[in-house]
Amino acid sequence: MDSSCKSLLFSAAVLLLSTELLLALSCDCDAHFQGRKPPEVRKDSPFTEKFFTQTLDHFNFNSFGNGTFCQRYLISDKFWQNGSGPVFFYTGNEGDISDFALNSGFILELAEQQGALVIFAEHRYYGASLPFGKDSFSRPLVGLLTVEQALADYAVMITELKQQLQADNCPVIVFGGSYGGMLSVYMRLKYPNIVTGALAASAPILSTAGVGDPRQFFRDVTADYEAVSPQCSAAVRAAFQQLQDLAARQEYRRIQSAFALCQPPSAPRDIHQLNGLLRNAFTFMAMLDYPYSTHFMGNMPAHPVKMGCDIMLRGPDLLANLRDTAAIVYNSSTPLSCFDLYNLYVECADPTGCGLGPNSLAWDYQACTEVELCFESNNVTDMFPPMSFSQADRRRYCSERWGVTPRPGWLRLQFWGDALSSASNIIFSNGDLDPWANGGVRRSLSSSLIAINIPEGAHHLDLRGANDEDPESVVRARKQEAELIAGWIQAERNRQKH
């Protein structure tokens, strides 16, 4: 059969599959989810879970016609000055939206101050917002997972909800952390007619657009541990070297014993996987190096980087120390009798980690298409074993895994890259403890493009609710953010009067 016939048959199969799915999914969202178990939020949570009937494909009127899916969002009008207060809209990122709502208490605190309606919108293909249910990650249906489609989702949702709530003249401020912070920036750039301003916390909009040094991320992870103690990073280097020496001699049983692995490694591939699993633990602790214990993306103790360094420096058995440091992450939810190399960590198109489960599939696809994450460790500028992830590695992996060819520079082309000076009303907040920080905007670009640097801040710490253990630097940052947002809201109201 020639290639043209195969292509026609494939297209026909896709059309049939899509039609069947559309019949199942193009329904009333309230009825579709009636009786569904609500999200696991606190009993005193101010949020109500709802579903919005969202367009499947905003940019092609033929591919799915008028097909829709049910997009989840959480809404709170607890503090809203009905019809006049602003709308605070969280641009959901790569996970279940309830996790972000529970860990972004600053937005609710600000809503109480400013009388705002609060909406946390879930990103398509994450959490419960699966356009094609269990088939969402099959090809080519996963092709509707793009930044542009997600932004259009948010623009449509904001516009229609404002109409339904008789809030047409209420200014909208978007908020987001990490990838969600990137989306907040993009919303202000692409839909300034809808969005008055944006708070982008820990948003690596430069590094993910291919702007910067691929060594930056793991260099900055290392710097966090060196800041606790130079001996700490030296101990990590030495421990990884011992592991490499054992692997070179193929002492696999000893490696299994040292790291409490469920199965002994048997090939260089397994050692590579072990290196990735260990490196990922150090990365996770650096990102979530909060001054108090948290339950966000796992259960982390207070100051996990310091705790990791204390373990690394507790005695001469460096391999046991390395294992127990990684266990801060991998034993955080359920104590494990052994560590399963391939179930605890999945290598993907994001060398900083995709996580596990369906959300990890969605992020892996995004890292294979628009979001560039070509970071490397090299054991020279960082403390980890050399592990490269070049554009060539990315192309090869993504072609095999998803049948796609990445587009380097696409985000830079679409969303301005580092040429942001003509934009307005965006706060770029970053914590010095966050390895993502130097992939974002660290200096103010104008009087309305404000960079706020938080010396003692980890990954979007400023979005979290107030805590007695907060450093003074994050208290000052939140105060500045609140004042800037209040000014934008007032300016928009003044503009509407004229």
Long-range contacts of range 468-477, CB-CB < 8 Å, 24 or more positions apart? 469/291, 469/292, 469/302, 470/291, 471/291, 474/431, 477/429, 477/452
Angle at 57 between CA 52 and CA 61, to 5 degrees: 125
Q: Is residue 111 within 8 Å of residue 88, measured between CB atoms?
A: yes
What letter would DSSP give residue 183? Answer: H
Pairing between strand 426-431 and 449-454? Answer: parallel
Q: Is residue 233 within 8 Å of residue 226, measured between CB atoms?
A: yes
User: Would you name the residues annotated as active-site residues?
Assistant: 178, 434, 459
- Between the alpha carbon of residue 84 and those of residues 47, 114, 253, 371, the distances in Å are 20, 11, 67, 37
Alpha carbon distance 200, 468 (integer Å): 24
Alpha carbon distance 142, 138 (integer Å): 6
In order, the DSSP letters of 227-261 are HH-HHHHHHHHHHHHHHHHHHHTT-HHHHHHHHTB
Three-class SS of residue 375? coil
Count of Cβ atoms closer than 10 Å to residue 269 Cβ: 11
Whether a cis peptide bond, with omega within 30° of 0, leads into 140 is yes
**Buried-exposed string 135-160: b where 16+ CB fall within 10 A, e elsewhere:** bbbeeebbebbbbebbbbbbbbbbee
Alpha carbon distance 93, 463 (integer Å): 14
Pairing between strand 172-177 and 87-91? Answer: parallel
Q: How far apart, in Å, do the first and last CA atoms of the chain sit?
A: 67
Q: Which of 453, 444, 412 is nearest to 425 (CA)?
A: 444
Q: Is residue 217 within 8 Å of residue 439, measured between CB atoms?
A: yes
In one-letter notation, the amino acid at residue 380 is V
Q: Is residue 57 within 8 Å of residue 67, measured between CB atoms?
A: yes
Alpha carbon distance 357, 339 (integer Å): 17
Three-class SS of residue 355? coil
